A and B are shown apart, each in its own frame.
With several copies, the nearest count.
Chain A
Amino acid sequence: MANLTLVQAINLALIQEMEEDDRIILLGEDVGKNGGVFRVTEGLWQRFGGDRVVDSPLAESGILGTSIGLAMAGLRPIPEIQFEGFLGPAYDQICTHAARMRTRTRGAYTVPLTIRVPVGGGIHAPELHSDSPETIYTHTPGLKVVMPASPYDAKGLLISAIRDPDPVIFFEPKRIYRAFREEVPEDEYTIPIGEARVVQEGEQITMVSWGASVIQCMNAIENCNHSVELIDLRTIAPMDMQAIEQSVKKTGRCVVVHEAPKTLGLGAEIASRIMEHCFLHLEAPVQRVAGFDTIMPYYKLELDYMPDAARITKAVEEVSAY
């Protein structure tokens, strides 16, 4: 057991998996000698050498497309996209090839890769360094999308992602890369993809979130007079609807919290499914506390954009008074 930050937990998972499986190759911009701009791959180039930890040319489609080729040949590439805002050039390779290769070839070719991407706002970063694009990839069949909210989960989920036979986008909430530490077992362990975590049980309101917003939810709950059940989705695609359904059937009320814009943010899918599955149990409309339908503003206004404890608390109070 060690007391680790999220960055350290990911780093540890990478080291352990790379020790076990020499089919794993890391590639991306600055992942080598520099250890990544967030130091997530720190020490790996020194440990595993330049054949396995590769500084690539500055080209995201190239990183992803090449990774697809590596994966089709049976290796286990782990490409890093430096910031979520630079997924754009890789979008086409992800959606037209990584997501489709298995079904296009009826299983003759598969693309087992793990795409690591720091995500989300709150760190005073420049433009396009603070977005939350999970909708784009959740709407794309053939992918899995994961986002841990704690160091413990990060290690277990990343190991699952790496071992998964299908392409996984592993979103790393950069706001909590170093925000807190947690006990993380030295040994390898996995957390199944597709299983949510009940962070805290409650009776009156279900709250669903993922990534760094989970921390905002915990802050809101702390100063709240209602009994809130907080679910950390952990995996965004496929979604653990069972966990949500079970909780909402108990509470009858739900608040979903996310950073992405409201319109067609994941909250829309969660709310719709809750309506479909729990209609007769609902006491109030599911509430979405989300980013606004604006471009994520530059950092002077980013905290006005992002859901915080105050906005969450208000929604909780309103939904329970409904």
Chain B
Amino acid sequence: MPIKKALNISIEHVSILDENGKFDEKLGKNLIPDEDVVRLYEHIILCRHLDEVAFKLQRSGRMGTYPENRGQEATSVGAVYALEGKDWLVPCYRENAGLYLRGLPIEYVLLHWMGDERGNQIPEDLHITPIAIPIGTQMLHATGLAWASKYRGDGGISCTFFGDGATSEGDFHEAANFASNLDLPVIFLCQNNGWAISVPSSIQSSAPTFAQRGVAYGMHSVQCDGNDLFAMVKVVREAAERARKENRPTFIEAITYRLGDHTTADDARRYRDADTVEAWTKKDPLIRLRKYLDDRKLWDDKREKAALANAKEAVSAAVKRAEEIEPPKTEAMFNSMYETLHDELILQRETMRTSSIGQNPSEIDPAVSLHAQDTTD
């Protein structure tokens, strides 16, 4: 057979709670206990409210650039719910909802965007790495963290979050390739939200799916509805099991949509039409979750109101904590450069100068400026 098949592959798409609130009982059964669905729904309400508040903080000059998570919350919430506390979360910047679920206090993220490194001083036991600004780079850290877990045999795995745009970076490729070839327990969770700032996802990949990116590495790859909390929990749980039991990575394409601007520095009306956004608004994970809860009599307007009130309280307390933190001391920018600072750095910190005469004021004494007089004639 001179022409023969070298490979045959297919990728599945998973959906359980669809955009109309239709629930697949078979797939969804026992996936999430009722009380947890309620809790996660409340959590998303809180995160949604936080986004609103953060947006206003930025607009009123109380915070720098901020990236809304609005509309995408189910992706990270579902993923983190499906993981264990010892598993590493290696985020980009659009998965706050998941990080809070793990236990990251809200003010950390606020502080980060308020231009304060203390927002990254993440408590050790949370197993969360700091928000990654350079796109695509953090996936390699996830690979390394997973490797450490495997090396130590501590049973932990890594889950790294990134956007459709991030899959275009070489670092994504190298991370996925390392994970697959070295058999590392990593979940690559691609949040395909349709956009990388103003660039549509079709420029990042002209292939029918992003999920097939994972095929390159011989990695199990799957696509799912990222606005479907249940689908997220299912695929991440399966991926986590694959990682924990077989040390094999998984690539997940979660299809979602960025309902807001890229960040507060962006104006999405410049490059996308309102109709598409409108259509996606109807696929909001909150809407279908509410319907799910309503159908099962797990929720009502009173509880909704209470949840919102709780959210407001929690968010405003967090904002207060973020805003009332004492201003960072100037010396902070020196102090954590190394475990032990070298002389030049100490001198710069003590004098707040880089000009040598200023660092050594005795040199300004006219008595020592002999030399200057010597040569001016």
Contacts and interface: CB of A to CB of B under 8 A. Distances in A.
Interface string B60-72: 0000110000000
Interface string B92-124: 000000000000000000001111111011111
B376 interface: yes
Contacts of B363: 318, 322
A57 B174 CA distance: 8
Contacts of B121: 105-108
A69 B145 contact: yes
Nearest to B163: A58
B144 A65 contact: yes
A4 B64 CA distance: 27
Contact of A277 (B139, B266, B334, B356): B356
A104 B130 contact: yes
B333 interface: yes
B197 A65 contact: no
A62 B140 contact: yes
Given A57-B178, A65-B141, A304 B270 contact: no
B366 interface: yes
B209 interface: no
A300 B146 CA distance: 34
A92 interface: yes
Contacts of B372: 283-284, 322
Nearest to B361: A318
Contact of B124 (A35, A108, A315): A108
A37 B130 CA distance: 24
Interface string A229-265: 0000000001101100000000010010000001100
B134 A92 contact: yes
A89 B336 contact: no
A133 interface: no
A58 B168 contact: yes
Given A62-B168, A124-B64, A108 B120 contact: yes
Interface string A83-120: 00110110011001100011111111110000000000
A318 B168 CA distance: 51
Contact of B356 (A55, A64, A285, A302): A285
A188 to B, nearest CB: 21
Given A58-B165, A65-B143, A69-B142, A318 B355 contact: yes
B317 to A, nearest CB: 21
Interface in A277-308: 277, 279-285, 287-295, 297-302, 304-305, 307
B357 A72 contact: no
A90 to B, nearest CB: 10
A172 interface: no
A56 interface: yes
B207 to A, nearest CB: 12
B203 to A, nearest CB: 6
B371 to A, nearest CB: 5
Nearest to B349: A292
B364 interface: yes
Contact of B334 (A280, A294, A322): A294
B338 A29 contact: no
A106 to B, nearest CB: 5
B140 A69 contact: yes
Interface stretch (B41-49, B281-289, B339-347): B339-347
B350 to A, nearest CB: 12
Contact of A62 (B120, B177, B354): B177
Interface of B: 64-65, 112-118, 120-124, 129-130, 133-137, 139-149, 151-152, 158, 165-166, 168-171, 174-175, 177-178, 181-182, 196-199, 203-204, 265-266, 270-271, 327-328, 330, 332-334, 336-339, 342-345, 348-349, 352-358, 361, 363-364, 366, 368-372, 375-376
Interface of A: 25, 29-30, 32-35, 37, 51, 54-62, 64-75, 77, 85-86, 88-89, 92-93, 96-97, 101-110, 124-129, 141-142, 144, 165-166, 194, 238-239, 241-242, 252, 255, 262-263, 273, 276-277, 279-285, 287-295, 297-302, 304-305, 307, 311, 314-315, 318-319, 321-322
| Pairs of residues from A and B, 4 with the lowest C-beta to C-beta distance, nearest first | A69-B144, A65-B140, A299-B115, A276-B356
